[in-house]
Amino acid sequence: MLWLLLGSLVLLYGGLYNGFPLVTYDTGTYLGSGLSGIVPDDRPITYGLFTRLTSLNFSLWFVIFFQCLLLAGLLLRYLEVYVPRVRHPATRLALLLAFMWATGLSWISCELMPDIFTAIGLLALGLVLLGRAPSAPGRVGLLLLTLVSAMMHSSNVLTFSLVVGGFGSLAWARGWLRRGWVRPAYWRQSLATVLAAWLVLPALHAAFGGDFAISRAAPAFLMGRLSETGILEKFLDHNCGDKQAYSLCAYRDSLPNTASAFVWSPKSPMNLTGGWNAHLDEYRGIIKQVLTTPRYYPYLASEAVQATFRQLTHALHGAGAPPACGVDTPPWSQVRLFRNGYELKEYMASMQNQSLLDFTALNERLPWVYLLSIVALLVGLAQPGIRRRVGPAGAMLLVLVGVMLVANAFVTGNLANVLDRLQVRMAWLLPFAALLLAVQHGPAVLAAGLRRLLAQAYEPPKETDSD
């Protein structure tokens, strides 16, 4: 417990340095849903309820503390099972500290946002899929954490489902199920858990007076994505004509260039004509026609691939600094309501809200961290001796992390926006997997290489015929 608490403190660094948990403009909606118990149109209520519960009705610091506690427990567990040569908890804590500095993980775990739960849920899911939770109580706890994490963000439900389905398909194709490297029972339990989220989350919303849906405003976001790709414009060209069958027909020559502008700009066609609540049925009909009309399939496929690759490369911490969210912003309004503004002065005095944070150095470091991780993995796995040393366990870990990153990029890039925030929440899993394998196998590989060099250096010269 002591080392777990110390690990949590390491991950709390970002909040402690800032002087308050970090926020984004979306934080206001999440905090508001927890305080009011009202389901937002555009996101799940789950994280709002989490903030209400874990704040203990006393301080928002407790929210990020519990986030860091969960994350630290999972990371230390991975270090325990994948780096058994490192036995002392202090050494594991030192590795966690170095990794946090290299990747800026603390800036994600200390946000009052559900983003960190994408990684938390997938790390918990990974321990089950990879057979690293052999006890029944342990698996139940990890699967419950997976279920809750899947319901924290509307994209997580689909992402988690794709991870389980994709990893299961690869395990079947590669014969891992047949060889017993992946336990079919554990895979079925994982699948049942993520599929349950498709029903539990809408039921939760209905219980709090909302629609039986994952996100009521999902059609508006999908329309924004169709507008950004140009597919919506093609659809309107084919279907408007002289009848003006849709509210968007009058704006088909002036559609916004980005999905974000379509949804949030006051001058977007949607908001000029009453907002998303006025057009949800119309948008559902357009989306259905696009998805069932073959002429759009080449465009959809091309844009899906482009968005996925673009999202994979957007893995930096924003534009260099998180924006200040001062007076009259959504998070400021909710912090003012929380316990009658008990923490409002602390919130306003934070480095973020004084525009004193700067992520430039971190963003200059991160590409090198990613690049070195990829190069080390590719060069290492190209060597047969290293592949044998890593074995099936290490190989399956890398495959699972790869599936996680691609699934997250595909879902967020195609159903929402290509944003740094949506990929940086997951991108650190790749260097983390590289760290696990490097610390466990690196010393032995280096020692073997050194022995070969010494043997070659001291090898006596061979005799020749002239001798």
pLDDT digits 0-9 by tens, 354-408: 999 999 899 999 999 999 999 999 988 888 888 888 899 999 999 999 999 999 9
Angle at 197 between CA 431 and CA 118, to 5 degrees: 20
Amino acid at 263: V
What pLDDT, on the 0 to 100 scale, is given for residue 461?
Answer: 65
Instruction: Using alpha carbons, list the distances in angstroms from residue 279 to 218, 219, 242, 250, 286.
Output: 12, 9, 20, 14, 11
180 in the same domain as 86:
yes
Quick one: tokens of 254? 């002036």
**Is the domain of 231 the same as that of 209?**
no
Residues 129 and 30 reside in one and the same domain? yes
Helix (H) or strand (E) holding 238: helix 231-239
Of 292, 311, 342, the residue that ends a domain is 292
Task: Tell me the C-alpha distance between 407 and 14, whole Å.
Answer: 27
In a domain, 49, yes or no: yes
Count up the domains in the chain and report the number.
2
pLDDT at 253: 85
My answer on whether 21 and 106 are in the same domain is yes
Is 313 inside a domain boundary? no
Say whether both 256 and 128 belong to one domain: no
The pLDDT assigned to 452 comes to: 78
Q: What is the pLDDT of residues 238-251, one digit of tens each?
A: 888 766 678 888 88
Q: Count of CB atoms within 10 A of residue 310's CB?
A: 13
**Residue 159 and residue 223 share a domain:** no
Query: Buried (b) or exposed (e) across 331-343, using 16+ Cβ within 10 A?
Result: bbebbbebeeeeb
Q: Are residues 161 and 66 in the same domain?
A: yes
- Residue 383 falls inside a structural domain: no
User: Which two structure tokens, joined as six digits, stand for 462?
Assistant: 């061979």
The domain of 265 spans: 218-292
∠ CA(155), CA(161), CA(73), 5° rounding?
80
Please calculate the CA angle 336-341-342 and round it to the nearest 5 degrees: 145
Q: What do you get for the CA distance between the two ends of the chain, in Å?
A: 70
| Assigned domain for 400 exists | no
- 210 and 222 assigned to the same domain: no
Is residue 278 over pLDDT 90?
Answer: no
User: What's the CA gap between 339 and 317, in Å, rounded?
Assistant: 31
pLDDT at position 106 over 90: yes
Considering 46-50, 309-313, 420-424, the range whose residues carry the highest mean pLDDT is: 46-50
Residue 22 β-bridge partners: 111
Shared-domain flag, residues 205 and 267:
no
Residue 36 has pLDDT above 90, yes or no: yes
**Token pair 């506690």 is at which residue?**
69
List, for residues 324-338, the tens digit of each pLDDT value: 999 999 999 999 999
231 and 140, same domain (yes or no):
no
Query: What size, in residues, is the chain?
Result: 467
CA atoms 107, 111, 113, 118: torsion sign: positive
What is the pTM assigned to this prediction?
0.93
The yes-or-no verdict on residue 465 having pLDDT over 70 is no
User: Can you give the pLDDT at residue 466?
Assistant: 54
Mean pLDDT of the chain: 92
Task: Give yes or no: residues 210 and 226 share one domain.
Answer: no
Query: Are 402 and 122 spatial neighbours (Cβ–Cβ below 8 Å)?
Result: no
Q: Is residue 367 part of a domain?
A: no
Q: Is residue 432 part of a domain?
A: no
Q: Which residue did the predictor score with more confidence, 243 or 9?
A: 9
275 and 198 belong to one structural domain: no
Last residue of a domain, one of 316, 341, 356: 356
Q: Quick one: average pLDDT of 173-177?
A: 93
Return phi, psi of residue 417, to 5°: -135, 155
Q: According to the model, what pLDDT value does residue 289 have?
A: 93
CA–CA gap between residue 385 and residue 123 (Å, rounded): 28
Spatial distance between the Cα atoms of 216 and 193, rounded to a whole number of angstroms = 23
Residue 157 included in any domain: yes
Which of 269, 292, 315 finishes a domain?
292
Place of tokens 């949607």: 270
